[in-house]
Structure 1
Amino acid sequence: MSIPNTTKSKRRPTHPGEMLREDFLPDYGLTVSGLAEAVGVSRQSINEVLRERRSVSPEMALRLGRLFGNSPEFWLNAQRAVDLWDASEAIKKDMARIKPLNAA
């Protein structure tokens, strides 16, 4: 049984690109070009993720998980948290109008 998280965070979750930029690249001594080469994608693709202008796709999550020895779910869950936060902020007024239903 899971317990739903009903409290909303007051700040936007950390984008996976920021994690890569601030934690992973320095810790592994990687450059943008080095990371792009290591995972087999273009430098532009990596740069857009690092600048938080591109989401981490399932394919990219598989590549990053393999490279860094963590799971693709780690990367996808981080991206999902950001996506849900952004969507929630975008439709905040509409969400306030929606009244939850109770089972009969």
Structure 2
Amino acid sequence: MDRLPNIHPGEILLEEFLLPLEISAYRLSKDTEIPQTRISQIIKGKRRITADTALRLSSYFGTTAKFWLGLQDDYDIEQEKKDKQAIFLKIKTNAPQQGIKQNVL
């Protein structure tokens, strides 16, 4: 089964918020006081969404900061799993017998 592509939160910001609401990166920058370069880098997938940015976006779009940080965390985890899969497969699980084993991969 093919995996879905790992989508950067910047793509979600652009496709699900800015484009449908017809908001430019410039306007978002002015309205939230997030530097325009930061917004552009996030949209291009070249920069993470920080707690500060998440709080500003959540105030602006009526979402929560956890929504934005969750998108970023999910993206980061998938990237790490992809980039370091061989390393993670070598790690021996050392969990209590009654514990719940969850495979990170």
Sequence identity percentage: 25
Structure 2: runs of 5+ lacking an equivalent: 98-105
Cα deviation for residue 65 of structure 1 reads 0.3
The separation in 1 between residues aligned to 2:95 and 2:35, in whole angstroms, is 49
Is the aligned partner of 1:71 residue 2:64? yes
Which residue of structure 2 aligns with residue 28 of structure 1?
21
Residue 57 of structure 1 is matched in structure 2 by 50
Q: Per-residue deviation at 1:12?
A: 3.8
Q: Find the aligned partners of 1:93 and 1:66 in 2 and give their Cα distance.
A: 40
TM (norm. structure 2) is 0.84
Match of 1:4 in 2: none
**Over aligned residue pairs, what C-alpha RMSD do you find?**
1.5
Q: Which residue of 2 aligns with 1:84?
A: 77
Cα deviation per residue 1:31-88 (whole Å; 9 max; x = unaligned)?
1100111110211110000000000001000000000001000000000000001111
AA aligned opposite 2:72: Q
Tell me how far 1:13 sits from its aligned partner.
3.2
Q: Distance between the aligned counterparts of 1:90 and 1:14, measured in 2?
A: 15
State the Cα deviation string for residues 78-104 of structure 1 (Å, max 9, x = none). Answer: 000000011111211111111211316
Structure 1 residue ranges without an equivalent (≥5): 1-8
Partners of 2:95 and 2:64 lie apart in 1 by 37
Distance 1:36 1:21 in 2: 13
